[in-house]
Amino acid sequence: MTDQDKRWDGLTIKGELPVGVYFAGVRHKAFTLRAGVTGDLIAAQELHPDGPLQLITLEVYRRQLLSLGDIEAQHLTTDLLRDGLLEMDLATIADADLSLEKKLKPQSAASKPGGESSTTLSDTATG
Residue 122 belongs to some domain of the structure: no
Which pLDDT value is given to residue 7? 76
Tell me if the pTM is above 0.75.
yes
Residue 87 belongs to some domain of the structure: yes
Query: What is the extent of the structural domain holding 91?
Result: 6-104
Residue 121 belongs to some domain of the structure: no
CA angle at residue 85 from 94 to 66, to 5 degrees? Answer: 60
Q: Is the pLDDT reported for residue 119 higher than 60?
A: no
Residue 116 belongs to some domain of the structure: no
Residue 1 belongs to some domain of the structure: no
Number of domains making up the chain: 1
Render pLDDT for 32-75 as a digit per residue (tens, 0 to 9): 999 999 999 999 999 999 999 999 999 999 999 999 999 999 99
Cα–Cα distance measured from residue 1 to residue 4, given in angstroms and rounded to the nearest whole number: 7
Residue 38 belongs to some domain of the structure: yes
